[in-house]
Amino acid sequence: MTNNFSLLIPEFLVTGLAFLILSLDLFISEKRKNHLVWVGVIGLFGILIITLLIFSNGILYQGLLVFDDYTNLFRIFFLIAGIIVLISSNEFVKSNIKYQGEFYGILIFTILAAMLLASSSELLTAYISLELLSFGLYVLVSFDRYNLKSNESGVKYVLLGAFSSALILYGISNIYGVLGTTRFDEISLMLVSINDLNPFLILGFIFLFAGLAFKLSAVPFHMWAPDVYEGSPLPITAWLSVGSKVATIALVLRLFCESLLEIGNEWQLIIIVLSVATMLIGNLGALVQTNIKRLLAFSSVGHMGYILMGISALISINEDGSISTGMTTLVLNGIIFYVIAYAITNFAAFTSVIAVYNHTAKDSISDFAGLSKRAPFLSLVLVCSMFSLAGLPVFAGFTSKFYLFNAVASQDLLWLVGIGIVTSLISLYYYLMIARQMYIEEGIDLSSINISLSIKLVLGVLLVGMIVGGIFPSPLMDLIELASEALIS
Amino acid sequence: MDLFQINNLIWMLPLICVFAFLSIGLFSKFLPSEGAIISIFSIGFAFILFIFVLIDFISGDLAAIHSSFTWIDLGEWTISWGLLIDRISIVMIGLITFVAFLVQIYSVGYMKGDSRFGWYFAVHSLFASAMMLLVLSDNLLLLYFAWELVGLGSYLLIGFWYEKTSAAEAAKKAFVTTRIGDVGLLIGIIILFKATGTFHISSIIHAAQEGGISNEVIFWSSFLIFLGAMGKSAQFPLHVWLPDAMEGPTPVSALIHAATMVAAGIYLVGRMFPLFELGPGILVIISIVGIVTFILAGAIALVMTDIKRVLAYSTISHLGLMMLSLGSFGVPAAFFHLVLHGFSKALLFLGAGSVMHGMHDQTEVELMGGLRKKMPITSLTFLVGSLSLAGIVPLSGFFSKDEILISIWEYNSWFLPITLFGVFLSSLYMIRLYCLIFLSTARSEYAEKAHESPRTMTYPLIILSILALFSGLLAFPFPFTGWEGFAAFIDDHHKFHMIPWLTVVSILVAFSGAFLGWVIYGSRRIVINNISSPLKFLYRLVFRKFLFDEIYSWIANKIVFTFSRWITIFDRVIVNDTGIDGVGNSTKKSADILKYFQSGYLYNYSLVMVVGLFLMAIAWWLVE
């Protein structure tokens, strides 16, 4: 069987772009390195267009990598997300980071890893992609070399990350030991054919889930998140909260839908417990934060809880103990929609926070007092993103939450939805607290904050995205439905 | 999907004004003339779009134009939003875009130099788009949303000069009073949703006509929806907010509190009429509320001495007449009167604004007089508006009033004598108002120094007075054009017809009212005190507006507030301290406890992870 390598063109191009930036960094003068970010942005934009043009489906390496509508949706997502992160990090990097070329080069490698995660349909390939992502992030988290907190968070992330990688690898080896395969479709076939689950197989899945839960920062594997988020350079915090999370979710969804639906009765309760703990602790933890980065860290933990809730509802168990997958597509649509809405909103929030930080170099919540007078447009975007994160109407956060909760409720998990709604209510408190700081509290510093045109543009696009996603989501939903059908069939 | 099909283009109608609202609201400081130009252009664009839609609508044999999109598709049920152009919504859109366009042009002159000039136009745009959304919406949920948004626009504009206590109070009063109706509307919508499982107006009406809804449900839901209409359209006893709403800038009164928003209640009843028809006795209630409003407000208008308040009570009175017409199966007549009254009343309010502009914001008619020479254009156009509203033949108000009288005679003949008395009152107070302002001699220094207004203000007056003069002709069928009269345009079953004796009676009644007005206030052959002193008690009762405000504040102070005080104690001690604060505090406490786990030490974190791993394993074995 010959491999059609043209399927991998976007990945090759992203790799090339990363090397291009790394090598340009060696040759150009210190002054011109400010322009490296635009090389990345334009490069990614070109790759995005090429990806859209060569849209084709297929598999590579005997099924190690699968390219279907699902892969393509996430590829496009990561390319756009990459462009947003690059633009929003531009000014921050100029003033805070010493080695710009390496920063952007490694960042682009993590985009590559995220794209690969969406297409890998075999455990070891997935593991390697996940490590590529993590290694990039380990470096990026500690990139602010002269900042003690950045170093600390880098060490924490690397050690705990290694721990979780070990868990994943041990889990994979157990699964391989019992089933003799690591391909998703073959795992599914094997699980149907064997009646009793071997204890080692169960142990293998638990280790795998625990390792993935670490990457998703699900409770109780979430404790690294606030510390690492706080210490990282701000654009990397944004990328951690969106890029790495969405990449892991892309993998988890494919793993669960392609190989684990048949044994849904085995794992459903565990995921439910994880999701309840994550929703509760994420949202409660955010209540007492005084630093915006830590607050957003806990908030993203809470959002992972809602996504886990969706994952647990991928199947429903009938009265006679059999598993029904009639509603799986609907729930899957809900999860993907939620993820995209979360990503848009979180980017909007982080991009505004970065813009404020560039001016004030402060990141505690009380520093946002009186922001509405200093930067009206920025405050508008930030407050809209807070409303959207809290799930208030007209914004994408509301519509996606409504869709996901409805889908979960249709799987007979109404009580779980109840917990979701209560925790959303709790989250309203801390999101509105930020809004209150910006619009009601009087600030000490009254100087107006200037924002560069590129940031304004990004913020405007994200604001429009939040509103259009809330009011008129059907074009997006069409794409999402295509993607989830590719996964379920 | 072809985006530029006409049925998708109708989304542009509300959206263009939303765009104007957002761009002025956000960037008014950076825009030329603080963004007023954007607002006027967008409403003008909406008017042009209306003409295109109208042409398309007529060439499509008056078939409804519908455009809807799926908001979300949840498998079992789908939520979609849609806009609908049909015979009544196109009439409303025409009225809204046209009057709003003129009023905004007029406002440029009127509001010149105001410190919140840009914000004024932003809210105008918001209002216009909400109003268009209200009449276009094909489902009750979107309609309710627009209904509240319109209320918000009205609130912001009544309280536009919120530095003035009276303006802030008036805005609050309007908001609270209409809210009573709005709650009724919301409950009515929910009852209908429970009964039919849909918010779509056409599906609800279809279900009702098929007998899918019980009579009781129809009665209560129609009654509650009518309560909403009473609030917005200022029907007795929920009318008290409208006279106070005159605290807002005068162009606002012309647009919102005369021509468009207050007509929303009429529109709602007309839109839901097939449902109301089926409810036992509901039309009788509507007729009674309508006629009581018509007569009482007309009587109050007769004794008010504030130019804007006379017009406000006159508006209430005419809205009552429209309700009465709806209650008498006269839907086309009600909409015809709605449109023609909209033109005339907008004209009168703008004229009043022009008078106030020349009189340094004096509104007391006792201080005016003799303005005919000093403000010739205003005087002439005001006369046209007054005669039209008085129902003098052949001005437009005559024709619509005649159609209403025909409906009343055919379905509610008992009400006809009282209605004719109301017609007499309305011509009497209109002529009185005109005579007091423009005839005889100046009664104050302000009136002596009065001057004509600038062109941006007088041109809209001229355009509106041309309409007030001639638009009544639309009642007649035009041979060779396919136009079979306004009534047939709204409803095929209503053919144009006249009842000659009734027309003669109505002409006589209107003329005698006008003549009496001229005799008393114009030529002063009869001295007013000779009439009013024997009727002193009645006069004072009417002058104090039948004591509605006093009764309401007595109820609010003595009953509601006493009750509230008891509730407050219950609320503070039980609901707040143990319920809300209790939950809040325990949530915060648990968050505080969680903080201790976040120690920052790596070995703690990994320990928690290991414990979590074990718990997961145990959970799995428990499931086995």
CA A348/CA A368 separation, integer angstroms = 16
Average pLDDT over residues B61-84: 80
For residues B537 and A323, which has the higher predicted lDDT (pLDDT)? A323
Q: Give residue B240's pLDDT.
A: 84
| Mean pLDDT of the region A455-483 | 91
Contact A472 B69 (CB under 8 A): yes
A378: which chain B residues are within 8 Å (Cβ-Cβ)? Answer: none
What SS3 state is found at B379? helix
Q: In this predicted structure, what is the pLDDT of residue B414?
A: 84
Structure confidence at residue A173 (pLDDT): 94
Contact B598 A265 (CB under 8 A): no
- Say what the ipTM of the complex is: 0.82
Average pLDDT, chain B: 84
B587 closest CB neighbour out of A213, A287, A376: A287
Kindly indicate the confidence band of residue B552, based on its pLDDT and cuts at 50, 70 and 90: confident
Contact B609 A203 (CB under 8 A): no
The pLDDT-based confidence of B1 (bands split at 50, 70, 90) is very low
pLDDT at B356 over 90: no
* Alpha-carbon gap: A71 to the closest alpha carbon of chain B (Å): 23
In Å, the largest CA–CA distance within chain B is 104
d(CA B125, CA B122): 5
Domain total of chain A: 1
| Chain B residues within 8 A of A213 when measuring between CB atoms | 612
**Angstroms from B190 CA to nearest CA on chain A:** 19
A27 Cα to chain B: minimum distance (Å)? 40
Least confident span in A339-353, B282-296, B470-484:
B470-484
What mean pLDDT is predicted for residues B82-91? 88
Q: Which of B72, B595, B597 sits opposite A399 (nearest CB)?
A: B72
Cα B392 to its chain centre, rounded Å, is 26
B536 vs A5 pLDDT, higher one: A5
Contacts of B609 in chain A (CB under 8 A): 160, 163-164, 210, 214, 220-221, 223
Contact, A260 vs B617, CB < 8 A? no
Contact A223 B608 (CB under 8 A): yes
Q: Tell me the pLDDT band of B527, cut-offs 50, 70 and 90.
A: low
Q: Is residue B492 predicted with pLDDT exceeding 50?
A: yes
- Tell me what pLDDT residue A369 has: 87
Tokens found for residue A150:
């950045």
The candidate with the shortest Cα–Cα distance to B295, out of B309, B308, B311, B314, is: B314
Question: What is the chain A residue with the closest CA to B606?
Answer: A160
Give the count of Cβ contacts less than 8 A between chain A and B: 109
**Mean pLDDT calculated for residue range A332-338:** 94
Q: Kindly tell me the sign of the dihedral angle through the C-alpha atoms of B498, B502, B508, B510.
A: negative
Q: Tell me the Ramachandran region of residue B545: left when phi exceeds 0, alpha when psi lies from -120 to 50, beta otherwise.
A: left
> Is B612 within 8 Å of A220 when comparing Cβ atoms?
yes
Model confidence over B569-586: pLDDT tens digits? 877 777 777 767 777 777
Residue of B nearest to A205 (CA): B617
**Of A247-251, B386-390, B485-489, highest mean pLDDT:** A247-251
Separation in Å, CA of A197 to nearest CA in chain B: 10
Task: Give one word for B75, left, alpha or beta, with left for phi > 0 and alpha for psi -120 to 50.
Answer: left
Q: Helix, strand, or coil here: B163? A: coil
Strand, helix or coil for residue B85 = strand
Measured distance CA(A390)–CA(B217) in Å, rounded: 37
Where residue A165 falls among pLDDT bands split at 50, 70, 90? very high
pLDDT tens, position by position, A238-294: 999 999 999 999 999 999 999 888 888 888 888 999 999 999 989 988 888 889 999
Supply the pLDDT for residue B84.
87
- B75 to chain A: closest CA residue: A330
Which residue among B75, B598, B606 sits closest to A160, beta carbon to beta carbon? B606
**For A357-386, how does the pLDDT look when each residue is reduced to its tens digit (9 = 90+)?**
888 888 888 888 888 888 888 999 999 999
For the cut 70, the answer to whether the pLDDT of residue B437 exceeds it is: yes
Neighbours of B451 (CB within 10 A): 10
Contact A473 B594 (CB under 8 A): no
With CA atoms as reference, report the closest residue to B172 among B156, B161, B185: B156
Report H helices in A123-256: 123-141, 148-179, 184-193, 199-216, 224-231, 234-239, 245-255
Split at pLDDT 50, 70, 90, the class of B203 is: confident
- Decide if B594 and A472 are in contact by the 8 Å CB cutoff: no
CB–CB contact B606 A221 (8 Å):
no
Residue that is written with structure tokens 């560069």 in the block: A452
- Cα–Cα distances (Å) from B111 to A410, B116, B121, B170, B379, in that order, read 55, 9, 10, 20, 21
Burial B406-445 (b: 16+ CB within 10 A, else e): bbbbeebeebbeebbbbbbbbbbbbbbbbbbbbbbebbee
**Highest mean predicted confidence (pLDDT) among A452-456, B396-400, B411-415, B593-597:** A452-456
Contact B620 A266 (CB under 8 A): yes
Contact A474 B71 (CB under 8 A): yes
Q: Does A288 contact B619 at a Cβ distance shorter than 8 Å?
A: no
Most A-contacting residue of B15, B24, B71 (CB-CB within 10 A), to test interface = B71
Which among A222, A247, A254 is positioned nearest to A116, based on CA atoms? Answer: A247
Greater pLDDT, A207 or B530:
A207
Q: What is the mean pLDDT of residues B474-492?
A: 77
pLDDT of A442 over the 70 cut? yes
How far is B117 from chain A, CA to nearest CA, in Å? 20
Q: Write out the DSSP string of B403-444.
A: HHHHHHHHH-GGGHHHHHHHHHHHHHHHHHHHHHHHSS---S
Q: A262: how many CB neighbours lie within 10 A of its CB?
A: 16
Which pairing describes strands A65-67 and A316-317: parallel, antiparallel, or unpaired? Answer: unpaired
The pLDDT of B211-238, averaged and rounded, is 88
Q: Using beta carbons and an 8 Å cutoff, which residues of B are at the interface with A?
A: 26, 69-76, 587-588, 590-592, 594-595, 597-598, 600, 602, 604-606, 608-609, 611-613, 615-617, 619-621, 623-624
The answer, yes or no, to whether residue A124 has pLDDT greater than 70, is: yes
- Phi then psi dihedrals of residue B82, to 5 deg: -150, 160
β-strand A323-324 against B65-73: which pairing, if any? unpaired
**H or E element at residue B66:** strand B65-73
Contacts of A377 in chain B (CB under 8 A): 26
Q: Which residue of B has its CA nearest to A468?
A: B71
Q: pLDDT tier at B475 (50, 70, 90 boundaries)?
A: confident
Contact A203 B606 (CB under 8 A): no
- The shortest CB-CB distance from A406 to any of B74, B619, B620 is to B74
| Structural domain boundaries enclosing A65 | 5-488
Is the Cβ pair B72, A402 closer than 8 Å? yes
Calculate how close chain A gets to B392, using CA atoms only, in Å. Answer: 50
Q: Which residues of B touch A226 (CB under 8 A)?
A: 598
Say whether pLDDT at B446 is over 60.
yes
Is the pLDDT reported for residue A477 higher than 60?
yes
Residue to test with chain B: of A167, A195, A223, most B Cβ within 10 A:
A223
Distance CA A321, CA A9 (A): 45
Chain B residues inside the 8 Å CB shell of A273? 616, 619
Task: Tell me which DSSP letter residue A447 carries.
Answer: P
Q: B162 CA to chain A: closest CA distance, Å?
A: 20
The structure tokens listed for A300 are 């993203």
Residue A444 pLDDT exceeds 50: yes
Cβ of A399 within 8 Å of Cβ of B26? The answer is: no
In this complex, the residue of A163, A221, A474 whose CB is nearest that of residue B70 is: A474
**B85-117 burial: b if 16+ Cβ within 10 Å, else e:** bbbbbbbbbbbbbbbbbbbbbbbbbbbeeeeeb
Q: What are A45-97's pLDDT values in tens digits? A: 999 999 998 878 888 888 889 999 999 999 999 999 999 999 999 888 888 88
CB A150 within 8 A of CB A109: no
- B80 in helix, strand or coil? strand
Predicted pLDDT at A108? 95
Greater confidence (B571 vs A330) lies with: A330
**Average pLDDT score, chain A:** 90
- Let me know: does A476 contact A469? Beta carbons within 8 Å: yes
Q: Which residue of A has its CA nearest to B593?
A: A285
Residues of A in contact with B588 (CB under 8 A): 287-288
Residue A10 C-alpha, separation from nearest chain B C-alpha, in angstroms = 31
| Exposure letters A316-350 (e unless 16+ CB within 10 A, then b) | beeeeeebeeebbbbbbbbbbbbbbbbbbbbbbbb
- Alpha-carbon distance B619 to nearest alpha carbon in chain A (angstroms): 7
Pick A221's closest partner by Cβ from B26, B592, B609.
B609
Q: Which two tokens stand for residue A60?
A: 């590579």
- In chain A, what residues touch B72 (CB-CB under 8 Å)? 399, 402-403, 473-474, 477
Packing angle of the helix pair B140-158, B264-271 (nearest 10 deg): 170
Stretch B64-88: mean pLDDT: 81
Cα distances (angstroms) measured from residue A79 to each of A82, A111, B304, B471, B613: 5, 7, 70, 60, 34
Q: Is residue B536 scored above 90 in pLDDT?
A: no
Task: Please tell me the distance in Å from B590's CA to the nearest CA on chain A.
Answer: 7
The H or E element that residue A67 is part of is strand A65-67
